[in-house]
Amino acid sequence: MERLKDYPMWFAQYGVDSPSVDCPVWQFGGTSVAGCNGSIDTNVAYVDLGSGITPEPVQSVATVAPTRDISAAYQVKTKEDGWLPKVWDDNDFAGLPGHKITDISIGVTKGTVKYRVHNCGGDWLSYVTGYDVNDGNNGYAGNGQEIDAVEVYYYTPEGVETHYAKYRVSPNLQSYYPEQIDDQADGYAGVFGNTIDRFQLEITK
């Protein structure tokens, strides 16, 4: 490790929640990809390596402005990272592979949204409707404990064609569960007992 300290490291380590060394790229497992045989290497890049050996910070998707008539902004919190940057719609996902989500905050540009989370090994917490990571009362859903399920419902404003919250979560270091739309099907995204590390949401017709 001493000999490699001056070089950006692409570090492979499996079966853990986060890499045991400081590295710009972490290979943490394999994922099934349509059109490919077997598992494809799955990685997370914490920086943009560019063409040199000095890592440059990645530009956050938070700088991308919403482009839809009705957009959703959301953030997640993990024990390792605190609140992660804001994400718009399905341009990206909120979370980091292997970093278990404890809290979620959601806002919309039109209409209103109510949402809640389920603590792993616990119960559903109360619904919230606000979007403010500094408001522990109604600005986000969660209480700092790892969560395993999320429920989101979107209320369309008058005079607008009916829209829905379409969202999904991924169990820790695994592929996404099927998408959930408002309170249809089982009413929430996730499986009780399986912590989640990624969350994605959009408001759609």
- Shared-domain flag, residues 79 and 39: no
Coil/strand/helix, residue 203: strand
- Shared-domain flag, residues 172 and 144: yes
Coil/strand/helix, residue 63: helix
Tokens of 60: 């956050």
Q: Rounded mean pLDDT of the chain?
A: 84
What is the model's pLDDT at position 57?
45
Q: Which residue type is seen at 117?
A: V
- Shared-domain flag, residues 38 and 50: yes
Q: What is the Cα–Cα distance from 134 to 171, expressed in whole angstroms?
A: 26
- Shared-domain flag, residues 37 and 137: no
139: alpha, beta or left, given left = phi > 0 and alpha = psi -120 to 50? alpha
CB–CB of 73/62 below 8 Å?
no
CB–CB of 54/37 below 8 Å?
no
- Shared-domain flag, residues 136 and 52: no
Q: pLDDT digits over 1-13, tens only?
A: 778 777 778 888 8
- Shared-domain flag, residues 35 and 127: no
Q: What is the Cα–Cα distance from 103 to 112, expressed in whole angstroms?
A: 19
What is the model's pLDDT at position 126?
95
Decide if 171 is inside a domain. Answer: yes
Decide if 5 is inside a domain. Answer: no
- Shared-domain flag, residues 48 and 77: no
pLDDT band at 32 (very low <50, low <70, confident <90, very high): low
- Shared-domain flag, residues 101 and 120: yes
Measured at the alpha carbon of residue 188, what is the angle toward residues 115 and 29, in degrees to the nearest 5?
A: 105
**Count of structural domains, the chain:** 2
Q: pLDDT digits over 168-202, tens only?
A: 999 998 889 999 998 776 789 999 999 999 999 99
Q: What is the Cα–Cα distance from 76 to 87, expressed in whole angstroms?
A: 9
| Predicted TM-score (pTM) of this structure | 0.68
Residue 25 has pLDDT above 90, yes or no: no
Measured at the alpha carbon of residue 23, what is the angle toward residues 82 and 42, in degrees to the nearest 5?
A: 85
Decide if 2 is inside a domain. Answer: no
- Shared-domain flag, residues 170 and 133: yes
Decide if 4 is inside a domain. Answer: no
Containing structural domain, residue 38 = 10-57
- What sign does the dihedral 168-171-174-178 (CA atoms) show? negative
